[in-house]
Amino acid sequence: MTQPVEIVSFPVAGMTCASCVNRITRFLAKVEGVEEAHTSSRCPPARARSGRRVQPRPEGFPMHRSALALIAAAALLVAACSSAATPGSSVAASSAPSATRIEVTLTDGLRVEPAAMSVPTGVPVTFVVTNVGSTDHEFYLGDTDAQAEHEQEMATAGGMKHDEPEGIGVKPGETKELTYTFDTAGKALAGCHVAGHYGAGMKADITVEE
Ligand SMILES: [Cu+2]
């Protein structure tokens, strides 16, 4: 029996750069039942190809449910993306488990200090990041693939356009906070992708504990 495949297209507002595009695409691709996702900051609009495995469905449970969920999810992502630059925009502080705070220093010696950190899974962690150098640095969270992708974005876009949920630019002498929740245990990294910095070792290992 062939699986029904539905091509779903929908417009996404508020994407301002290549990282927004990548984030939406990565997110869509992870949604259950989605086989392929394409997002473009120009026309054509975001598209997701949904190949849900056939299961008996009660009448009135249309395929469009997944499309609606996608749109809602993408809208949330865009909201997160564009509000990330606002300081103090952390969410639901009262009901969330108490955030772990880690003080981080970025140096002109191209180091992220401490070079190794441990964080819990599923708990907001606030990184208080200070650039003690005299050149721009950034603090970008993600696994090896995400770091490589961001390195590429930085190279093609010529720099970070705006702060993001997983990364911030920090000017010389500035201290900024980034609150992030690691959803899965394992290894992650914090890296600076100002040209040449990551390659020179400007990164820290993050162990996300069970
Ligand atoms: Cu740097």
- Residue 2 Cα to ligand 1 middle (Å): 51
pLDDT at 71: 41
Whether domain 100-209 has CATH 3.40.50.460: the reply is: no
Share above pLDDT 70 across residues of the chain, in percent, rounded to a whole number: 53
The terminus-to-terminus CA distance of the chain in angstroms comes to 40
- Residue 57 Cα to ligand 1 middle (Å): 52
- Residue 177 Cα to ligand 1 middle (Å): 16
For residue 100 the two structure tokens come to 């772990």
Q: What is the CATH number of domain 6-83?
A: 3.30.70.100
Question: Where are the domain boundaries for CATH 2.60.40.420 in the chain?
Answer: 100-209
- Residue 110 Cα to ligand 1 middle (Å): 6
What type of residue is 185?
Answer: A
- Residue 107 Cα to ligand 1 middle (Å): 7
The answer to whether residues 148 and 177 touch, using CB atoms and an 8 Å cutoff, is no
Does this model's pTM top 0.85? no
- Residue 47 Cα to ligand 1 middle (Å): 35
Q: How confident is the model at residue 83 (pLDDT cuts 50, 70, 90)?
A: very low
- Residue 125 Cα to ligand 1 middle (Å): 21
pLDDT above 60 (res 140):
yes
- Residue 15 Cα to ligand 1 middle (Å): 25
Task: Identify the residue with better confidence: 152 or 20.
Answer: 152
- Residue 58 Cα to ligand 1 middle (Å): 55
- Residue 201 Cα to ligand 1 middle (Å): 9
pLDDT at 20: 52
Give every CB contact of residue 134 below 8 A, 6+ residues apart in sequence: 108, 172
pLDDT at 47: 46
What type of residue is 111?
Answer: R
Question: Where are the domain boundaries for CATH 3.30.70.100 in the chain?
Answer: 6-83
Count other C-beta atoms under 10 Å from residue 159's C-beta. 13
Phi-psi region of 186 (alpha: psi -120 to 50; beta: other; left: phi over 0): left
Range 130-149 average pLDDT: 97
Q: What is the pLDDT of residues 86-112, one digit of tens each?
A: 443 333 333 333 348 999 999 999 999
- Residue 112 Cα to ligand 1 middle (Å): 8
For residue 120 the two structure tokens come to 């819990």
- Residue 136 Cα to ligand 1 middle (Å): 6
Distance CA 146, CA 27 (A): 13
Nearest to 176 by CA among 131, 111, 121: 131
